[in-house]
Structure formats: C-alpha cells, structure tokens
Amino acid sequence: MHGTEWNLDRIRPHIAAHLPLAALLGIEVAAADARHSLVRLAASPHITRPGGSVAGPIMFAMADVAAYVLLLVVREEAEAATANLLINFFRPALELPLLAEAVLLRSGRRLMTFDVRIWPQDAARDRLVAQATATFALPG
Amino acid sequence: MHGTEWNLDRIRPHIAAHLPLAALLGIEVAAADARHSLVRLAASPHITRPGGSVAGPIMFAMADVAAYVLLLVVREEAEAATANLLINFFRPALELPLLAEAVLLRSGRRLMTFDVRIWPQDAARDRLVAQATATFALPG
Amino acid sequence: MHGTEWNLDRIRPHIAAHLPLAALLGIEVAAADARHSLVRLAASPHITRPGGSVAGPIMFAMADVAAYVLLLVVREEAEAATANLLINFFRPALELPLLAEAVLLRSGRRLMTFDVRIWPQDAARDRLVAQATATFALPG
Amino acid sequence: MHGTEWNLDRIRPHIAAHLPLAALLGIEVAAADARHSLVRLAASPHITRPGGSVAGPIMFAMADVAAYVLLLVVREEAEAATANLLINFFRPALELPLLAEAVLLRSGRRLMTFDVRIWPQDAARDRLVAQATATFALPG
C-alpha cells in the first residue's frame, strides 16, 4: 500500500502506466528525491541508429521523464504537462547505458523549470551528449 | 535506380534505415519538396498514453523527421545532425492521424533552421497541438 | 479618453511607461490588431555595433515588445510576463529600419505563445535576420 | 600592451567597443577564467521598469555578454556570433546589482553552448531570476 509520498515504488508503476513508451524504449527511473532525479537508458532493440548512436527522440524522452519524475517528488502533481522543452545535442551518444539527471531551476506557482543533463554512465559526468531545459505547467 | 535527387522514393527508405524508430512509432513521410515537408503519424500501438493522447516524445520525433526530410531535399546532405530543438506543446493531441509540416527559416552555410507545426489532419490547420523550432548543423 | 480596447493610441503610451528601454533603443509600435502586431526599429545612436549591425539584445527587445503588444490586443491583460523566449539569429542585421512581426501560435488559459519574425523593412519579407518563439504567462 | 591571452584587461575594452549597449545598460565584466565568466549589472537610469524590476532585454544582454566573454577566454575567437539563445524568466528581478554567470556545456569544433544563471548579488545563489542556454557559432 502506498502513502501519499512519491517514492520509487510509486513512481515506477505510474510512469509505466502514464508513458508506456518509456518502457518500450528501455527508459527506467533510477533515483528520485527532492534534490534530483535520475533516469537510465539501457540497451534495447529500438533505440539505436545505424552506427550505433541513440536517436534524438529517445534522449528527448529521457529528459521529459526525468523532469516529470522530479516534479512528482517535489510537487506531487501527476497532472502536470510539458509546456516546452529545448534540447541541445552535443555529440553522438554511442555508449550505453545513458543517464539523464534533472534538477530544479524554478518552482513557481504555475510553472516549473528543470535543467537536465545526459551523459554515458561510464564516461566523466561532464562529458555530456545532450542537455535540456524543460518547463512544465501545473493544473488548477 | 535513384538519381541524386532526394524525392520520396529515396527519402522513405533512407529514413527507415537512418531512424528505425520512426517506423516503430508509425511516422511516415507524406510529402517533400523545396518549399515544405509533411510527415504523418497514423494510429499505432505504442504512441498513446492513458486518455488517448499522443506522447510528447512522439511529437518531437515527428518534428525532427520533418525538418530532416526538408534538409535532405534542400541541401542533399544526409550527414546533417540536429543541434537543438525547442518544442512547445499547446493542447493534448487526441485525434489521429497527426500531421507535422516543416518550412525553412534559414539556410546558412553551416546551420539550417526550421519551423515545424503539428496539428490533427481532420482539424483546422491553425489548431496546433505543438510547434517546434529546430536547428541542424551541416558537416564539413 | 480611452475605452477598454487596446488600440495603438492606448498601446503606445503603455509601452513607453511599461518598458522605457524600448524608446531608448528606438523601438516603436507600428501596427496591432487581432491578427498580428508590428514593431519597428529606426536608426538610433545606441543600437549598432562596429560594422553597423544591430546588437542581439535589441532584436530580443523587438521580439518581446511585439509579442506583448499582440497579447494586449488579444487578451487585454497588461500584467502578463514573458516566461521564456528563444531567439535564433540568422544573419547580421545591417539595414534599418528593421521590422518585427508577431503572430499567435497558442492562446491558452494561462499561457500564450507567439512566433516573431524580424527582417529589414526594405528587404524581401522572407529574408529574416532573426526569429523568436515567446511564451507569456498570464496572471490569476 | 596586450598578449594573446583574453584576460579582463583585454576583455573589458573589447566588450566596450564590440557591444556599446553593454556600457549603456550598466553591464560590466566582473570575472573570467577558463571555468566561468561573471557579469554584473549595477544600477543605471535605463534598466528598470515601473515597479523597479529589471527589463527582460537587459537580462538577455547579460546572458549574451557572459557567454561571449567565456568564449573569448576558452576559444580566443572574437568573431563568434550568437546562433540562438533561450532565456527563462523565473521571478521579477527587483534587487541590484544582478550577477550572471556562464559555464560551458559543450565546446565543439563549430558550436559552443553555454548555461547562464542570473541572480541578485545579495541573494542566495540558487534564487535565480533567470536562466539561459546560448549557442554560439564559430567562424571558419
């Protein structure tokens, strides 16, 4: 039985139900607390392109999920929706798993903004393959 | 046998090979000439979320493919890569098929920038569900 | 005496009071109706850089003012604020006056999104020097 | 006499000549090394709006200058130009001076991307009034 807190035991099935695409692509929630969230992309048959790099839409999905998970923890508002998201691609993502970490930039009454960094788990943490800034709108 | 021109007969198999995720998600190239490109999302098992709306990463993929297809036609440079993409989500995308149309904003020597609009095929054309601005970097 | 409608006679003094920087930079509101707004940058001592091009922050100001003016006309809500703005710079802006035209992409309950194009008044209208996408948050 | 290194003694007159708007607005370069750059906005007659908040275009200018200064230090390439810049506004900027700090996200062959945070000098460093992501194109 769950309490009202959004911890991993509650977040994972919620993401599986809310965004089934995440599981299809091999995206899993690795960590989530009030400070940050971490999402992992494991190897999966659908994600790579010729040459072995991870396709852009999959990194977009990682960023979107990571931001949404942190929003769940910080605001406990499952009905929030992405208002806009800018993603910058820096270099081909050739190594799996990939990690995406979201941190909070702003927690307003109606809008939340997140910074998300994506890098290969086995590389230095500043060897980013992509970075995103996502703004979510809260309902009500 | 193909000539050097990037028409639909050449673009479709190239996208299928270059971004297999597109076919998995049900994204197909509907039209492409020097003025615009058009990409269609048909119904598919993976795309919807509870409530029936199309997930954000799928609209991102539509925008990215539409821009890349127009780049192929205008610049004939298959090695171009997305440098950054901002996508704005305006309302839930509840009706399929969806269309994404890309037009050119700038065709520079090294950078190309596209405006992409996404709307339901059966709705008025200005009833947008999303809009994106994508910048691609050309190699060389 | 003004009615409640936001027409040019009411918009111009409001911008002069609300954003005195606009007048300092030589930005004036040229047209505004429900369909679009138009802002003009005339020659002024502060705007150019060596080589004679218009500085980026000035084009940002044009885009921001154009979007806000259209918001005034469409929503009559002077307290709205820019939530985020992406501006793409395409080529040096060497000729004055410059025009910035804003059109509406989305008019939601809490968020409005605008597309803004900037080009030299004496050039072809698709010879853009910059393009912006701006999202404003409405109060309440 | 200057060497080839871009230190503050060389950066400040370069910014004054390259972007005279910065001095007009009261923007000064406070620090710059390979790790980050810091730009300060002091009180000035042109910057505030009714209510005393700093106008958006001025924060845009701070972000643009901070990124360009870090580019000068890291790449020594004065001819680089802003390709695009997304700025998010989080809360009214009511207290001066304001600081803008830029750090590097990506230093590619042709493109550099910067993260810029803006906050009041006398507030906690995570009490951001704005954040920007800027991509610059290098010549050649």
Task: Kindly report, residue by residue over A41-79, the tens digit of the pLDDT.
Answer: 997 666 666 667 899 999 999 999 999 999 999 999 999
Q: Which pair of structure tokens corresponds to residue D7?
A: 């230190």
Delineate the domains of chain A, giving CATH numbers in brackets. Answer: 8-137 (3.10.129.10)
Contact flag B55-A21 (C-beta cutoff 8 Å): yes
Q: Does A86 touch chain B (CB under 8 A)?
A: yes
* Cα dihedral C83→A35→A124→B139 (10° resolution): -20
Q: How far is C41 from chain D (nearest CA, A)?
A: 15
Backbone φ, ψ for residue C92 (5° rounding): -60, 140
Asked whether the bond before C50 is cis by omega within 30 degrees of 0, the reply is no
Q: What is the rounded average pLDDT of the residues D43-61?
A: 80
Q: Is B59 helix (H, G, I), strand (E, B) or coil?
A: helix
Q: Which residue of B has its CA nearest to A24?
A: B46
What pLDDT sits at residue B47? 64
pLDDT above 50 (res D1) = no
Q: Are A103 and A125 in contact (CB under 8 A)?
A: no
Confidence of residue C52 (pLDDT cuts 50, 70, 90): confident
- The residue in chain B having the minimum alpha-carbon distance to the alpha carbon of residue C87 is B133
Asked whether B13 and B21 are in contact (CB, 8 A), the reply is: no
Q: What are phi and psi of D84, to 5 degrees?
A: -155, 160
DSSP at A121: T
CB-based contact, A83 to chain D, within 8 Å: no
**What mean pLDDT do residues B50-69 have?**
92
ipTM of the complex: 0.94
Q: Tell me if chain B has a CB within 8 Å of the CB of A1.
A: no
Please give, rounded to a whole number of angstroms, the shortest distance from the CA of D31 to a CA of chain C. Answer: 21
Instruction: Answer with the residue of higher pLDDT: C87 or D5.
Output: C87
Q: C72 Cβ partners below 8 Å, 6+ apart?
A: C6, C11, C14, C32, C78
Cβ separation of C105 and B86 shorter than 8 Å?
A: no
pLDDT at A43: 76
